[in-house]
Amino acid sequence: MFKKIQQLDEFVLRKIKGLHSHTNNRIMAVITYLGTGGLVWFAMTIPMIISRQMRAAGLNILLSLFITWLVGEITIKRIVGRVRPSEQLPEDEQIVKRPKYYSFPSGHTASSFSVVGVTLLRCPVGIYLPVIVLASLIGFSRVYLRVHYFSDVAVGVLLGLACGLSSVALFNVLVINVFGFAI
């Protein structure tokens, strides 16, 4: 089964390489940068936390990002230890700097889709639709830039959604039931 997944991963990388151009490379580098360290998602929470109506959503996003980081970056990546596709590329084919850590699952994608999970349950369509689009672009950029395999990103989507959705339940229990107040 792992051989078939690796074959699919390599097939997708070859197909996406056909989309490479100087302009596309620059666009994808900017999109991937937005997801680095959850930058865009942390920035998004600032006005949410300031707003009384969106405060619970903003704080819940922070909780989901923390849970996703613990599960994906600290636990799964270290257990699996998958080498990135960029490790096999010559230096002149690198579009962005080679990441230092393991590939599986995609942390950019997992964190992005954890925000999707929270916004789906806590925010109006005007917020969650752009979040879904940006999260999808960030995930795609990781494969486009050849710093992740397709399966890294696919599992990142699933992991992120699971962490985001479960963080809503955890947030509700902690804030509302344990501390006895709504934010």
Tokens at 151, concatenated = 């399966």
pLDDT at 147 over 70: yes
- Please answer whether residues 114 and 163 qualify as being in contact, where contact means their C-beta atoms are separated by less than 8 angstroms: yes
Residue 126 pLDDT > 80, yes or no?
Answer: yes
Interacting residues of 150 by C-beta distance below 8 A, sequence separation 6+: 8, 9, 12, 13, 143
pLDDT one-digit tens code per residue, 7-62: 888 888 888 888 888 998 899 899 999 999 889 999 999 999 999 889 989 999 99
Give the angle subtended at the CA of 53 by the CAs of 52 and 57, to the nearest 5°.
Answer: 100
| pLDDT at residue 157 is higher than 70 | yes
What does the pLDDT read at residue 182? 57
Widest Cα–Cα separation across the chain:
57
Architecture of domain 22-178: Orthogonal Bundle (1.10)
Q: Which two tokens stand for residue 114?
A: 């954890």
The domain locations on the chain are: 22-178
pLDDT band at 92 (very low <50, low <70, confident <90, very high): low
Give me the pLDDT at residue 96, please: 67
- Angle subtended at Cα 128 by Cα 39 and Cα 20, rounded to the nearest 5 degrees: 60
Q: What pLDDT does 121 receive?
A: 94
- Neighbouring residues of 27: CB distance < 8 A, sequence distance ≥ 6: none
